[in-house]
Amino acid sequence: MHIVIIGNGIAGTNAARFIRKWSDYRITMISDETLHPFSRTALMYCYMGHVRQRDTQLYEAHFWAKNRIERLLDRVEQVDTTSKTLLLRQSGALHYDKLIIATGSTPNRPDWPGQELKGVQGLYHLQDLEGMEQLSQGLQHAVVVGGGLIGIEMAEMFLSRNIPVSMLVREHSYWGNVLPGPESAMINRHIIEHGIDLRLGTQLKAIEGDKQGRVHSVLTQNDKRIACQFVGLTTGVSPNINFLRRSGIELNKGVLVDEQLRSSAPDVFAIGDCAELRRPASGRRPIEAVWYTGRMMGQTVAATICGQETMYKPGIWFNSAKFFDIEYQVYGSVPAINPAGISSLYWEHPDGKKSIRINYESESLAVTGFNLMGIRYRHEVCEKWILEGRSIEAVLQQLSLANFDPEFYPKHEQELVSLYNRLEQRNVQLQTRRSLTMVQCYLKSKV
C-alpha cells in the first residue's frame, strides 16, 4: 500500500512516523517548501541568533532513510480522487492508495494597495525568514500589521536587532478577542515597555513605495503616515486548500472531515490546520491551527490507516505562547468575555507581569479553565481537575500540586485563597443585604 502525505509540518510528519511504527507501507511525503520538516515556532530564534537553521529540523538527516520515508520537494497541482492520482508540478503523476492532506495554513492577504511592493511579507514559511534576513540590512524602521501571535514574534525579532517597530492593531487592546481584559491590558503595557510603538484601534489603509518598487511608508485609516522600509503582514491564516477546489473533495473553510479525520472522498484524510471537523467536540472549534492538535491528528489518522480505527479526541483546550518575557498558558475554557453562569477568580501580581485566572461555574463551582500569565502550571494536573469537575474550593486547597517547579518557582496559592475568601465574604454580605431588603419591603407592604 502506498500512503502519500501532502505537507511535512508537525501533522504530516507525525502521521508518517506512526504509520512507519505500525506498518511496512510505502510512505511518500510531499512539500514545496523544504525537504526537511522544521519547527515553525523556532523561526524567530534563528533570526535572533539563538539557534541555527539546521537546529530547527524535527529529526536528524539520517532519520528519513532509516525509516524508509520518501520525500519529494514538489508542488501538488491537482488531486484526482477517482483515479487516486496526484499531478505534481515537476514530477508528473503519482498514484496513491491512501492520501493524507496536511497542507497547513496560508497567510491571509487582504487586498491593500501596495502589498506587492518589495519589503512587504509575512512570517510563515522558511522563505519568509530568508526574506527578513535580506531585508533587514540597513533597515531603519519596520511596521507590523496585525495583533496576533505572529505579529508580536516579528516585533520581538526586529527588537533583538535594535530595529524600531510600530505595531498596528485593529482591536482596541492586543489580542482582545482572545484574552480577558486584564490580561490583554498586561500585554499592552509589556509591549510598550519594550519600546514598541503600539497603535491600538488602528487599521492599515495603504502601503506606499518608491520608484524602485520598495516600500517607504504606510498610511493608516486616519491618514497618519509612518516611514518604514519593511511591512510585516500578520493578519491571521486560513486553511491551505485552494489546490483542492476542483478535486471533488467537500470543502468549507477547510477540508471537511469526520471524527476519524476522513474526508468526503474515499481513502482521503485531512489533518492539522487545513482540516475542519464537521462535529467538533464540545467547547472546541472546527478548525484549530495549533501545534499540539496537529501532532495528535497525525497519530490518530496513522492508527486508523494501520487498521486501528481511532476517533480524534483532543481533550480539553490547551494553548501556550510567549509575549516577550511573559509566558502564557491556557487550559480549558477561558474566553475573552465570560458567558452567563461562569465566574472568574482573578489574581494579578503587584509587578503587573504575572496573573492567574481560574474560571468556574457559578452554581456548581466546578472549575472550567485556567489562564496563566508569567506562571506555569502542570498541564496534566489542570486537565484532570477540569475533566473531573473539581470545585474551585477543592482546587484552591490543592493548588500547590499544579506548580511546575515547586522547588524554585515563587508560590502564590495563599494569595488566591485569601482573595477567594474575601470575595466569598463580600458575596455573603451582599446576599444578606438583599435578603434584609426583601424582608423590609415585605413588612412595609403589610403596613
Domain with 17 in it: what CATH number? 3.50.50.60
Q: What pLDDT is attached to residue 406?
A: 63
Q: Are residues 210 and 249 in the same domain?
A: no
Q: Are residues 167 and 245 in the same domain?
A: no
Q: Are residues 64 and 11 in the same domain?
A: yes
For residue 111, being part of any structural domain is answered with no
For residue 433, being part of any structural domain is answered with no
For residue 59, being part of any structural domain is answered with yes
Share of the chain above pLDDT 70, in %: 94
Q: Are residues 334 and 424 in the same domain?
A: yes
| Average pLDDT rounded to a whole number, residues 51-62 | 88
Give the span between the Cα atoms of 386 and 400, in whole angstroms: 16
Q: Are residues 422 and 322 in the same domain?
A: yes
What end-to-end distance do the CA atoms of the chain give, in Å? 89
Share of the chain above pLDDT 90, in %: 80
Task: Pick the last residue of a domain from 305, 331, 356.
Answer: 305
For residue 322, being part of any structural domain is answered with yes
Q: How confident is the model at residue 417 (pLDDT cuts 50, 70, 90)?
A: confident
Task: Pick the last residue of a domain from 270, 305, 340.
Answer: 305
Q: What pLDDT is attached to residue 269?
A: 98
List the beta bridge partners of residue 391. Answer: 366
Q: Are residues 179 and 272 in the same domain?
A: no
CATH number at residue 356: 3.30.390.30
Question: Per-residue pLDDT tens for 246-277?
Answer: 999 999 999 999 999 999 999 999 999 999 99
Q: What pLDDT is attached to residue 427?
A: 65
C-alpha cell at 84: 487516486
List the beta bridge partners of residue 346. Answer: 357
Give the span between the Cα atoms of 3 and 98, in whole angstroms: 5
Burial pattern 176-192, b for ≥16 Cβ within 10 A else e, equals bebbbeebbbbbbebbe
Q: Are residues 354 and 397 in the same domain?
A: yes
Q: Are residues 300 and 325 in the same domain?
A: no
Q: Are residues 216 and 282 in the same domain?
A: no
Q: What pLDDT is attached to residue 41?
A: 85
Task: Pick the last residue of a domain from 204, 235, 266.
Answer: 235
Our count of domains for the chain comes to 3
Q: Are residues 223 and 281 in the same domain?
A: no
On the question of pLDDT at 447 being above 70, the answer is: no
Alpha carbon separation from 264 to 85, 95, 269 (Å, rounded): 16, 19, 9
Q: How confident is the model at residue 149 (pLDDT cuts 50, 70, 90)?
A: very high
Q: What pLDDT is attached to residue 432?
A: 53
For residue 113, being part of any structural domain is answered with no
Q: Are residues 151 and 231 in the same domain?
A: yes
Give the span between the Cα atoms of 381 and 17, in whole angstroms: 28
Q: What pLDDT is attached to residue 414?
A: 87
What residues make up the domain containing 59? Answer: 2-106+238-305
For residue 313, being part of any structural domain is answered with no
Q: What pLDDT is attached to residue 444?
A: 54
Q: Are residues 248 and 231 in the same domain?
A: no
For residue 244, being part of any structural domain is answered with yes
For residue 438, being part of any structural domain is answered with no
Q: Which of residues 89 and 407 earns the better pLDDT score? A: 89
Burial pattern 3-39, b for ≥16 Cβ within 10 A else e, equals bbbbbbbbbbbbbbbbbbeeeeeebbbbbbbeebbbb
Q: How confident is the model at residue 147 (pLDDT cuts 50, 70, 90)?
A: confident
